[in-house]
Amino acid sequence: MELKPGQLPVGILGAGQIGIASAILASRGGENVILWTRNENKIPQINLALQELSAFCKEQLGPPEHSAGRIDITTDFSRVDDSCRIILECIAENLAEKIDLLRRLTACRERDVLILSATSALSISKMAAGAGLEKMLVGAHFWNPPYLIPVVEIIAGEKTPEGMVQRACTWMKKLDRIPVVCPDIPGFIGNRLMHAMWREALALVDAGHCSAADIDRIVKYTFALRLPALGPMENMDLVGLGLVNSVEDYLFPDLAVNSSPSGILKEKLSNGKSGMRAGEGFYSWTPASAKAMIKCRDLTILHQLKWMEEISREGTEK
């Protein structure tokens, strides 16, 4: 598959879930994409995933505003290193493996290339230092699914030039994303918030206070319903900071403070119940039920985004 002429491509390292989704996002933003995978045998599977996701986005989001770029799948690492103006690393969330892969980027160091890591929690400073890319590497945490979730957390390492951070933000805006610059602390902002809630959820189940299904019902049908309209800080203002202070003074001493994963999580993993891909985690999953859940997730996000756009438009018109 040949790339259209006239534009240096974007390179994506890794063709897993985030890599494939990022390739579609970049393509819909008018970018030519070189998508690198280690495993040539997986190229037919990757092609199928790209076709299915492209069709979903076209059906649900409409045709892209720009002329869509082409996506070229390759196992030749040098094609990304030698020719791309932006490189996005999307391999598994393992610091040592990410550093090893980024070290292989040599030719691009001599050019003015923006290098991004799609890590969700790892230190950009440590990654950049280990790979020798302290002046080039920026973190870009895409929330799953990247083709729908608009916010991307942008993370500068200790020595990342401000110009590189601004280039990353500018590119995200070109892809119709909302960049939010975050500190290089473990988990950045979003995952710290999410895992704080998950820690408490696991502690409640671990203590036998409720079931996993109870947790999900309470979250989905109470405060999650208002989150698209009210973020946590807005909601605190709404209920009054005095009340927040009183509740926290009473509640905080009883909340989970464990500094390691919960017992029930370790138990599930030791029994091979690692989640949807394994067929069981807190729930039992079949390929059909897993696919249905992902579709439900995506359609729910779409519905919320469209509603938020309508509300925003009505507010602007007033």
Domain coordinates of the chain in residue numbers? Answer: 10-182, 191-285
Q: Please give the model's pTM, rounded to 2 decimal places.
A: 0.91
Tokens of 60: 């649900």
> Partners of 10 in the beta sheet?
33, 86
Q: By three-state DSSP, how is residue 312 classified?
A: helix
Please work out, in degrees rounded to the nearest 5, the angle formed at the alpha carbon of residue 144 by the alpha carbons of 141 and 145: 125
| pLDDT at 21 (0 to 100) | 96
Give the tens place of pLDDT for each residue, 241-277.
999 999 999 999 999 999 999 999 999 999 999 999 9
Distance between CA 101 and CA 106 in Å, rounded? Answer: 11
d(CA 310, CA 88): 32
CATH architecture of 191-285: Orthogonal Bundle (1.10)
**pLDDT for res 124:** 98
- Helical H segments across the chain, by residue range: 17-28, 43-61, 77-83, 95-103, 124-131, 162-174, 190-206, 212-220, 232-239, 241-251, 263-270, 287-317
pLDDT tens-digit readout, 108-165? 999 889 999 999 999 999 999 999 999 999 999 999 999 999 999 999 999 999 999 9
The predicted pLDDT at position 65 comes to 80
How far apart (Å, rounded) are the C-alpha atoms in residues 22 and 18? 6
Across 75-86, average pLDDT: 97
Contacts with 160 (C-beta within 8 Å, 6 or more apart), sequence order? 124, 128, 134, 135, 137, 138
Please tell me the total number of residues recorded for the chain in this structure.
318
- β-bridge pairing 151-156 and 137-142: antiparallel
- Going from the C-alpha of 272 to that of each of 95, 201, 216, 285, the distances in angstroms are 24, 21, 22, 13
**Torsion sign across C-alpha atoms 300, 306, 311, 312:** positive
Cα separation of 73 and 35, whole Å?
Answer: 5
In this prediction, residue 317 carries a pLDDT of 64
Does 2.60.120.380 match the CATH number of domain 10-182?
Answer: no
pLDDT score of 1: 41
Cα gap 181→270, rounded to integer Å: 37
Question: Scanning the structure block, which residue is given the tokens 């519905």?
Answer: 303
